Amino acid sequence: MSRRLGIYVQVPFCQTKCTYCNFHTGVVSAARFAPYVDAVCAEIAGRREFYADAGVEIPEALAGAVVDSVYIGGGTPSLLDPAHLRRMIEVIGENFVTDFREVTLEADPETITAEKAAAWRAAGIGRISFGVQSFCDEELKAAGRMHRREDVYRAVPLLREAGIESISFDLIAGLPGQTRESWRESLEQLAELRPEHVSIYLLEVDEGSRLGSEILRGGLRYSAARVPTEDEMAEFYETACEFLERAGFHHYEISNWARPGFESRHNLKYWRREPYLGFGAGAHSFSGKQRWANAHDAAAYVAAIGTGRLPVEQLEAVTRESALEEELFLGLRKLDGIDVAQIERQYGVAIEPRFERLMSAGLVEREGSWVRLAPSKLSVANEVFVELMK
């Protein structure tokens, strides 16, 4: 069977900057969208030369791989003209062997119109990943989001009418002003709209966002004082686990739930260490042998591609040791866990002893040769990963 490959396209543009956002995205004039799309298409079409020039080696087994998943993320790629999105998908089709099983577009609710939804569907997009974040307008406002609850209610029927068969909602636990009650309310409204897939993220507190930086250093501008505590966030996560299970969702990865058959084919590649190629500014790639990322700055990326050079910022060979570590901390993100016997065979090392202490502390559990995070300990998964890497 041919090797499967995922393609990620990064569109690093947004309408405004959300206060909690730590991604490399920018608010730019719409006049910059078309040159950016041209650069991405040029990167896809000229990838062999670009890679050779940048020191990226594509393993033989990947040369004829079949692209079965495409994920257009951001940023807010739904801001682009649908014709731009269609062109990028067509260029992928012209330059790879394809058997598209899942083509996802990240979209913000306020950017959706009936015309756009129909054009997306006609371009082959069958899955929309929706940045809902909360159904509470106060929380959306405090986080600097452009949309409100009613935009989500307006957009979902438009997507369904256009024939989008899979909708995923993102929620964030930890927004300023969020309470036990408002979190529950968001979960209930989410269930009412019947998405096929749900992702729940905990607010990340770091210097990379304005809110994160205010939490760390103090200040009054971004409502840092109204951010729930870590314990409250963990409680929200646990409430979501119970709620979503009762609502018929299968919890398949720490942050992801799906109705049966709607697990994200593309994102599963990340946790299974399957290959993917990323195109666009800041896009990451993994060939099985190397990992690399393109330069984050969109203008620098467009300029470099224009001069026939791919600006690769981080290119590293995946050593046997790092591959093994990835097997553990990426694999354990899946609720099924990892097959310890299979990994031991593949890498020729004993990893069983690494789990002994975690097992006696009740943090992981075992079934046959499989080890997984204990379902009641998912909110402390990071502690398990730290312990495992010691």
25 or 256, CB closer to ligand SF4? 25
Among 82, 109, 131, 278, binds ligand SF4 (CB under 6 A): 131
4 or 149, CB closer to ligand SF4? 149
Q: Can residue 33 be called a binding residue for ligand SF4 (CB under 6 A)?
A: no
Three-state DSSP class for residue 19: coil
Give the residue closest to ligand SF4 by C-beta: 21
Among 37, 47, 58, 75, binds ligand SF4 (CB under 6 A): 75
14 or 67, CB closer to ligand SF4? 14
Using CB under 6 A, which of the segments 18-26, 92-100, 157-165, 199-207 binds ligand SF4?
Answer: 18-26
Q: Can residue 18 be called a binding residue for ligand SF4 (CB under 6 A)?
A: yes
Q: Can residue 385 be called a binding residue for ligand SF4 (CB under 6 A)?
A: no
Question: What are the CB-based long-range contacts (under 8 Å, 24+) for 306-315?
Answer: 306/39, 308/46, 308/49, 309/50, 309/53, 309/54, 310/43, 310/50, 310/51, 310/53, 310/54, 312/54, 312/55, 312/56, 315/54, 315/55, 315/56, 315/290, 315/291
Q: Can residue 25 be called a binding residue for ligand SF4 (CB under 6 A)?
A: yes
Q: Can residue 19 be called a binding residue for ligand SF4 (CB under 6 A)?
A: no
Using CB under 6 A, which of the segments 10-18, 52-60, 81-89, 282-290 binds ligand SF4?
Answer: 10-18
Q: Are 252 and 375 in contact (CB under 8 A)?
A: no
How many residues appear in the chain? Answer: 390
Q: Which two tokens stand for residue 128?
A: 């929309």
Where do we find the tokens 């929620």? Answer: 171
Number of neighbours of residue 112 by Cβ within 10 angstroms: 23
212 or 275, CB closer to ligand SF4? 212
Q: Can residue 201 be called a binding residue for ligand SF4 (CB under 6 A)?
A: no
Helices marked H in 97-229 — which ranges?
Answer: 114-122, 137-142, 149-161, 180-192, 210-217
CB of 143 to ligand SF4, least distance (A): 8
Cross-sheet strand order for the sheet of 370-373:
338-339, 370-373, 364-367
Q: Can residue 74 be called a binding residue for ligand SF4 (CB under 6 A)?
A: yes
Q: Can residue 76 be called a binding residue for ligand SF4 (CB under 6 A)?
A: yes
| Residues binding ligand SF4 (CB under 6 A) | 14, 17-18, 21, 23, 25, 74-76, 108, 131
